[in-house]
Structure 1
Amino acid sequence: MQDIYEDILRLAAGKIRQRIRAGDYASHTAGLGKGKLQANIAVMPERYALDFMRFCQRNPKPCPLVGVSDSGNPNMFTLGQDVDIRTDVPSYFLYEHGTFSREIHDITTLWQSDFVAFALGCSFTFEHALMRAGFSLWHIENDKTVPMFRSNIETVAAGPFSGPMVVSMRAINKSRIQEVIAISRKFPLAHGAPVHWGDPSEIGIKNIDTPDWGDASPVTDDQVPVFWACGVTPQVAIEQARLPICITHKPGYMLITDVDDDAEIPVIAHSNS
């Protein structure tokens, strides 16, 4: 898998989506698509879409909304040329009545005529800027998925959607905390500045060695755990809402868009004729 990752790493966003669609790559997307926005996804029946959009609007840190499909149309044309939400994510989670059902790599056969797809910004996007500034990111260097945790920070409910904020963690050198805050703040569509740094117990995390999603990441004596709002938050809200069916990305396995990672508003020139 490492050899495939190294090959994919050199490709442009559209080429990466083609490889994912063909089934050639089905792993995490950390470090991929440099310069382009990565996105979490949620797909649900249209009757729940307005409440979910309200949930995102009320919780912009964990749920920065960057794209919404038309009802029944899997083409996310505002996010890139030829973006098919059914095939272009490396791995999906299927939820039925709020309960995780199974992991799948293509949702074409599950697609329904009333489905609406949402794309939410991802912190993987600002990681490129951190690496350019000389930050060491353990999960990328070791081909792992960033650790993610349920926190005790509550979201603002909307309709059936509610629950705690999920956060992702990266170990940052103590002397560079203000620098990492300043860099990530420039990417509001990718969760922006961190929500907490220092003692994990202050946000309800008992043990950073046992993440709820992703892989445990070491924190050395000269580092501090830094936590960002995470796009897995909607998955927790979906569990609470108990929708009859909902599909999300597998945590860490994102949609790579054609949107520039420093864009304020995602807009892709497209002829929809």
Structure 2
Amino acid sequence: MKLLTFLFALLLCFTVNAQTGTFNLGARNAAMAGASLTFGDEYSLFNNIGSLGRVENHAAFASYQNRYGVSQFQVVGAGAIYAAPFGSSGIGFYKFGDDLYSEQRVHLAFGNKFQMVSLGVGVDLLQYNISTIGTNRALAIQFGGVAEINTQLRFGAHIFNLNQAEINSETGEKAPTVMKAGISFLPSEELILNAEVEKDLDFDEVFKAGIEYRIVDNVYVRTGISTEPFLGAFGVGFHPKNLKFDYAFSNDSRLGSIHEISVAYSFKK
């Protein structure tokens, strides 16, 4: 069983883009199939640090994800954001896998908003561990931004591993470099329409689209799709006062279903 788990973990490295460098987190993001570049919420710490400067309150959050019904492929992540007048800073932790194969990330970031534009920069300590081979580490730099073109249109962009960090000096293997760009259209206060394209230098482009609709105060429904492989997703959110509870279900056409649940708390300044 351990051998099968190990082989499946290696298969994931080559077939699942979300495990090769994006490190996306949060059920809101997952319910929209990853189309969340322009969201200025707590999870921008993982999804696009360019939106970090738009986070107005201190916050703490955590998320759990189970992939394909296999406990060895769970994702856990957590973080905290400190919002100051001169900008917002954050620290986060992410882990995928178990003792046989795992990917871990410790993340520090800072973002600020200048009129209609917000920018962010981050440094990540990446760790990849394979029990039969050993552990490799690398430092990766990421950069992102979001521009509010008008009250209804936003544009976002992000690049992870800008420095193309090397994770194995003997083989010359580098950590994945992933670029994303996307737009959000807000036709009303209740509705958000997102579209994005993501490009890992070693994989084909991935196209994503997502919708979020607030059906009543503090209650949201979401859905989305993405390509390479095809993935369909939906989810719900309940945001009473300073708390946020979100759930997402998605189905990977190659590997199966994914569940994610997230919780966040904002500390009013």
> TM-score, length-normalised on structure 1?
0.25
> TM-score, length-normalised on structure 2?
0.25
Structure with greater proportional helix content: 1
Structure with greater proportional strand content: 2
